[in-house]
């Protein structure tokens, strides 16, 4: 049961969701930006997120984390983006085939997104109170005065000191950490059942980062919101994730519970990222740096996209895409040679 006194039911109607059913189930999602692209930018990824749980998506810059999030939110313009296959069932309804009007309605209501840079969401020309209240009015039809009161409650809820005063502040009058809290307040004002947080703390200093993560976790406990958190920080993953999906060049190469991924990584890329093969990567608190670079789409191998950087690659790896195979319950790996321990013995 919700422990919060600050939050009340919005009256929005989540679809009937069985207890064990995921809030979001993405299946075989593929996307391109160019009809003539030699390979798909996002190439057949699948994952799920459950109510009250956090899925962390990790992977090097450019692997398609933001594009995936924006596609789910319906925030990529098409063209140039083109969804080639797949479904993304949010509370049972496929986001990719919803009419635009319903997508707009879901955004900021059923699902919401926060970004690394709060000014992506905040308008410098309006006070933060006005902006939060506007979203509340739009989605819930509350009268202006009531929406303003609700906006104040949201600012208090995200622990903004002197919230009543801040209601009439413009974004530039607030610190980076405060702006991040305002963006979170705006995103959560209509109690979304899914929050996508795309590197929300990367630009903040360590103390503020910890406070923001703590806030997201606290909110999640109170509301049961499912969270997709994209991060480069393994410390953050260890602390907040229930499940982890590791992305490489538009593929999900491994996913599993946070304990499985940390204790028993099986894809060479994951092992490299987490720095446990010294010749592949070195742990630096953040994701390790792996020798080499992601090939451009026109040089992408037909098979495993990690093959050009993988010490275990052979001909089959170059030619055939390894399917995701379940090694243990909920732990799947897309590598022809997983479990990889035997190979590691011979090639380090
Ligand atoms: N609007 C766009 N048009 C064409 N290519 C894009 C667009 N947005 C992103 N990309 C490309 O998609 C790839 C994945 O980007 P992105 O999802 O932002 O990566 P990240 O994992 O760092 O969030 C990158 O190569 C990027 O250049
Ligand atoms: S499929 Fe082959 S190239 Fe890809 S990660 Fe596994 S061993 Fe390496
Ligand atoms: Mg990104």
CB 112 within 8 A of CB 195: yes
Determine the longest span between alpha carbons in the chain, in angstroms.
Answer: 69
232 lines ligand 1 (CB under 6 A): no
User: Taking the C-alpha atoms of 40, 42, 46 and 49 in order, what is their torsion angle to the nearest 10 degrees?
Assistant: -170
34-76 residue pLDDT tens: 888 899 999 999 999 999 999 999 999 999 999 999 999 999 9
Q: Cβ neighbours of residue 322 under 8 Å, at least 6 residues apart?
A: 303, 304, 334, 335, 336
Give yes or no for residue 12 having a pLDDT over 60: no
What's the 18 CA to ligand 3 centre distance in angstroms?
32
- Tokens 């997104």 belong to 113
185-200 residue pLDDT tens: 999 999 999 999 999 9
pLDDT for residue 345 = 58
Q: Where are the domains of the chain?
A: 121-189
Structure tokens at 135: 């979203």
pLDDT for residue 109 = 87
233-276 residue pLDDT tens: 888 898 899 999 999 999 999 999 999 999 999 999 999 888 75
Among the atoms of ligand 1, which is closest to the Cα of residue 68?
A: 17
pTM (2 decimals)? 0.91
Number of residues in the chain: 348
pLDDT for residue 292 = 87
250 lines ligand 1 (CB under 6 A): no
pLDDT for residue 2 = 34
DSSP 159-175: T-TTHHHHTT--GGGS-
330 lines ligand 1 (CB under 6 A): no
Q: Which of 3-12, 143-152, 205-214, 303-312 is predicted least confidently?
A: 3-12
Q: What percent of the chain has pLDDT over 90?
A: 66
pLDDT for residue 276 = 56
What's the 233 CA to ligand 3 centre distance in angstroms?
13
CA gap 69, 144 in Å, rounded:
31
Based on DSSP, count helices (H) and strands (E) in the chain, helices before strands.
12, 14
Residue 324, judged by CB atoms within 10 A of its CB (0-12, 13-18, 19+), counts as: buried
- State in Å, rounded, how far the first CA of the chain is from the last one: 51
What's the whole-number mean pLDDT along residues 284-304? Answer: 83
Handedness of CA 247, 197, 86, 40 (dihedral sign): negative
What's the 87 CA to ligand 2 centre distance in angstroms?
27
CA gap 127, 344 in Å, rounded:
57
CA gap 214, 15 in Å, rounded:
29
185 lines ligand 2 (CB under 6 A): no
Q: Which residue, by CA, sits nearest to atom 6 of ligand 2?
A: 335
117-166 residue pLDDT tens: 888 889 999 999 999 999 999 988 899 999 999 999 999 999 999 999 99
User: Taking the C-alpha atoms of 174, 122, 146 and 12 in order, what is their torsion angle to the nearest 10 degrees?
Assistant: -130
CB 49 within 8 A of CB 55: yes
Higher-scoring residue by pLDDT: 298, 26 = 26
CA gap 108, 196 in Å, rounded:
11
């Amino acid at each position: 049961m919700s422990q919060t006194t600050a939050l009340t039911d919005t009256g929005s109607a989540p679809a009937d969701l069985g207890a064990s059913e995921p809030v979001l189930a993405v299946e075989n999602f593929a996307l391109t930006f160019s009809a003539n692209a030699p390979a798909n930018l996002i190439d057949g990824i699948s994952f799920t997120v459950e109510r009250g749980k956090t899925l962390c998506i990790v992977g090097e810059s450019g692997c398609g984390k933001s594009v995936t999030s924006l596609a789910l939110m319906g925030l990529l313009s098409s063209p140039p983006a083109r969804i080639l296959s797949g479904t993304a069932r949010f509370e049972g309804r496929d986001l990719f085939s919803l009419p635009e009007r319903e997508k707009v309605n879901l955004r900021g209501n059923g699902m919401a997104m926060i970004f690394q840079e709060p000014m992506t969401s905040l308008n410098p020309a309006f006070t933060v109170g006005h902006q939060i209240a506007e979203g509340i009015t739009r989605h819930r039809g509350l009268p202006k005065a009531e929406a303003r009161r609700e906006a104040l409650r949201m600012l208090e809820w995200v622990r903004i000191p002197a919230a009543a005063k801040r209601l009439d502040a413009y974004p530039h009058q607030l610190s980076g950490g405060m702006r991040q809290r305002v963006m979170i307040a705006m995103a959560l004002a209509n109690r979304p059942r899914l929050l996508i947080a795309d590197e929300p703390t990367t630009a903040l200093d360590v103390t503020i980062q910890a406070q923001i993560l703590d806030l997201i976790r606290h909110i999640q406990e109170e509301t049961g919101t499912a969270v997709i958190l994209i991060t480069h920080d393994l410390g953050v993953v260890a602390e907040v994730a229930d499940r982890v999906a590791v992305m490489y060049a538009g593929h999900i190469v491994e996913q599993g519970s946070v304990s499985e991924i940390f204790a028993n990584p099986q894809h060479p890329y994951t092992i490299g990222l987490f720095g446990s093969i010294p010749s592949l990567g070195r742990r630096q608190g953040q994701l390790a740096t792996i020798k080499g670079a992601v090939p451009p789409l026109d040089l992408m191998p037909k098979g495993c996209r990690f093959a050009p950087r993988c010490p275990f690659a052979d001909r089959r790896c170059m030619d055939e895409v390894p399917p995701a195979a379940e090694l243990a319950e909920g732990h799947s790996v897309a590598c022809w040679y997983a479990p990889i321990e035997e190979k590691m013995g011979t090639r380090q």
